Chains A and B, each alone.
Chain A
Amino acid sequence: MEWKDVLPVLVGGLVILVVALVVKPALLGEPIGFASSGSVPAGDPPVYVPPAPVPTATPFPDDGEAYTRSFRWTAIDGGVRTTEVRVPEALFLTHRGTSRFSDYNSWGRYALADADRPLLEDLAHRIAPPAANPDEGYFRLMNLVFFVQQIPYDRDDNTTSYIEGVLPSHAMYVKDGVEYPKYSVETLVDGRGDCEDAAILMGGLLDALGYDTVLLRYSDHMALGIRMNEFNPYYAKYTPRHFMYGGQHYYYVEGTDFDWGNISVGSTAIWGRPHPIGDTSGTGIPSVQSETPQIIPLRYVPEPGEYQIRPVRLPAGGA
């Protein structure tokens, strides 16, 4: 064999290589040479863009116009207590001018409103002063519950429920009448409210003391659920009602006192019997005794159940 015999073979191989590596990629628009085909120009990989910060609320000045309200209530020891609440007018008017959420699930925001928080913390500590003895925790809790229960009840569609004497512009007209969930300071300034207003105020005050609470929504009523490990006092003549949520026990607490009544005919003096924790039979509200309420946490953030990204093995053949 001579070189002249081998030459055509080498030339043939060269032609094949040129066709495979240059001509075909050029025709198909693939990269020329040994570079892999199939890659697409995709630009730079995405980067994380942090969210815009949530605007912080401007504090309302304490030295401006304010509503001052006096409260008088019977504490758990039978003694009469009084306190005063001062609500900046600007804060109250801002809330009154805020539209309401029709979705019950977001009503916890009224209890936890950041602008109301300092005022609620102050009030909660005056109603239930910190005690050195941890056994007094129950009395602190009940004093706060009793305070809210003794705020007069008034329906949302009743103009007497508002200091302006008219329904607020953001009152929602629903099938059964009017719905207007009040911010806690609105209830304090108006000095009255209905069941959801009481539950919201009680939720806000208890949250300020560090209690975990939820709203309990019935078809025609709203109350509060307070998380307790176990509540079964020896003196109770009822089985305390509780509901499970997130693996925790939430005991029923009534925010309104439906036992209000005049002491005697013609007298304006009234009396009432506070509802203890877990007592649903004493409320006299059929839905409370027969229904299982919808549980609405005061705080809500969307929390996915699945979120683990699994690392995978890489194809080894070309590594």
Chain B
Amino acid sequence: MDPDTPEPSGLRIPDLKIPGLLKLTADRRKALATAAAAVVAIAVLLVGGMVFVSFHEGQQVAAFNSHVSASEADLFLVSGKITSHMRTPTNDLSVAECDAHVREFAAIANYGRAVTAYHRRIVAVDAVPEAYAGAQSAYVRALDNLNRAFTFWSSAASAYEVRDYNAANRNIAEADKAWQEYNAAITDYDRELRVVEEGPEVPPA
């Protein structure tokens, strides 16, 4: 040993390796990774779930939309037949023309009954988000009332065929009532839809 450079025996750097600490660090890293994985998993589940629920509800509303749209398209055709029929002046028809007019009325009534029953069956079983349940219920009620009105029209036409004009008039009066209930149901439907889509601050219709 060189005496000029004596080895300071008292200053030996101790071995700083702490095996326990190293082990702890490795465990912590694993724990952190696991926790992060769990957080990611939960986040993925949450976000995925929310996206899925939102997508699913969107799909339900889209289906409801398409069913109401199809119903409205068919009702538009019925409405066209009714409007054309009602425009026919009846003040100078012959007896045969009166009979033909009422037969057409009966055919429109049967058409209206079939259309409303068909679309009611479809719209009523639509699975819709809870927020749309009120609108769906009101629309189904509207179709029911319209169906009832057409049934009374049909009965009025049958009464005419057997020349029971009093019964025909009674059926027409009942049909008018059912039609008013249809109007009320459509007003409810519009209001429910506006509440869902524009918020609860919607003024009453």
Contact = CB atoms under 8 A, between A and B. Distances in A.
Nearest to A38: B127
A37 interface: yes
Contacts, number: 206
Contacts of B81: 48
B146 interface: yes
A141 to B, nearest CB: 18
Interface size class of chain A, counting residues whose CB lies under 8 Å from the partner chain:
35 or more
B68 A105 contact: no
Interface stretch (B2-10, B15-23, B92-100): B92-100
Contact of B45 (A16, A299, A310): A16
Chain B CB count within 10 A is highest, among A9, A50, A56, A301, for: A301
A114 interface: yes
A26 interface: no
A307 B103 contact: no
A35 B164 CA distance: 52
B137 interface: no
Interface in A1-56: 1-2, 5-6, 8-9, 12-13, 16-17, 20, 34-40, 42-43, 45-54, 56
A244 interface: no
A317 interface: yes
Contacts of B196: 315, 317
Nearest to A20: B52
Given A103-B163, A303-B90, A318-B65, A51 B107 contact: yes
Given A43-B118, A46-B74, A302-B168, 13 more contacts: A1-B37, A42-B122, A49-B110, A301-B90, A301-B93, A302-B171, A304-B179, A305-B176, A306-B175, A306-B180, A309-B75, A311-B72, A317-B57
Interface of A: 1-2, 5-6, 8-9, 12-13, 16-17, 20, 34-40, 42-43, 45-54, 56-57, 101, 103, 105-106, 109, 112-114, 117, 212, 299-319
